[in-house]
Structure 1
Amino acid sequence: MPAGARLTTVEEVREDGSFLFTATNSFDMDEEIIVVPCDEDVAADGGTPVDDEGGVAAWINRCTHEAQRFDTGRGVPMRDGEIICPKHGSMFDACSGDCDNGEAAGTTLPDVDVAVADGAVYLVDDDYSFEHDGGIDDGDDGPSSTSHVGF
């Protein structure tokens, strides 16, 4: 079993199409991270965002063009192994993170290292600490108020 937080399973990522979680980065800031299906064993650029057994890759949950979130709470929009930016339609390879079209052409998504053991997906990137499943604001009850007015 890899050292790191257990996130989900490859089967669940494939069934649901993606998995969203929040982690704290090395600057003590929360980041949303997506795990998506990937059918390559090694990232095309030789990097390590793809897990050891193949099957999934993990990326920061935002387009490189305008910081638009891919997963806004309904899963990551994907087609033919590519992540689609819901704002401008740029498409990123799910395994390499590379974009060759649209407003984000020529950029690559920031990767997050994950590993798979016995079908379970683990966060193994030393730059991130797992916080919780879902997005940054999930489970947030919203701002507190001292007002007597209710809605």
Structure 2
Amino acid sequence: MTDGTHLTTVETVKEAGSWLFTVRDAYGELDEVILVPCEDGVEGWINRCPHEAQRLDVGRGAAMRNGEIVCPRHGSTFDSCAGDCDNGEAAGTRLVPVETTVDDGDVYLSDRSVTVANEGGIADADTSPADDVDDDLPSSTSHIGF
């Protein structure tokens, strides 16, 4: 058995072309992640083009072409297995990885910096803080007020 939270199967990701889920970081903030097929299974990436914070999967699956993720805003393409971009407005950038593990065809979230909030996008999430987030903490770590 693999440590981590079960997400889906490699077969599901390959059939759909991509698979979207939402994670919560240690501060309770939500972020979307896409799983995309690779020759060795799947890779997980934050669902955001580093050029202008454009969502790569806007709820209909990530646009994929020849093993690359296509940014819907400017058409830059990212290697689905390495995350690198060498063309368009996002050239020279890299997608932010999220660690996943594949075990016997099942995909698990193995990145310990986040927890699974839900399948699908942020709009599908329960936006209340996670049970393990301390509600007594301030909403900001800054001591500066405006």
TM-score, normalization by structure 2: 0.83
Q: Distance in 1 between matches of 2:69 and 2:100?
A: 18
Cα deviation digits, residues 53-81 of structure 1 (max 9, x gap)? x2100000010100000111100100000
Where in structure 2 are the equivalents of 1:2-151 lying within 5 Å?
A: 2-39=2-39, 54-138=40-124
Aligned with 2:15: secondary structure? helix
Q: CA deviation at 1:5?
A: 0.8
Q: Distance in 1 between matches of 2:25 and 2:42?
A: 21
Provide the alpha-carbon RMSD of the alignment.
1.1
User: Larger deviation: 64-73 or 19-28?
Assistant: 19-28
Q: 1:146 aligns to what?
A: none
Q: 1:48 aligns to what?
A: none
Aligned residues: 126
Q: 2:132 aligns to what?
A: none
- For structure 1, the residue ranges without an aligned partner over 5 or more in a row are 40-53, 141-151
Tell me: CA distance 1:123–1:107, structure 2 relative to 1, closer, same or farther (3 Å): same
Give the AA of the match of 1:5.
T
TM-score, normalization by structure 1: 0.81
Cα deviation digits, residues 106-139 of structure 1 (max 9, x gap)? 0010000000111000000011101110000026
Q: Percent identity?
A: 58
Aligned with 2:42: secondary structure? strand
Give the AA of the match of 2:7.
L
Q: CA deviation at 1:99?
A: 0.2
Q: Distance in 1 between matches of 2:11 and 2:100?
A: 15
- For structure 2, the residue ranges without an aligned partner over 5 or more in a row are 127-146
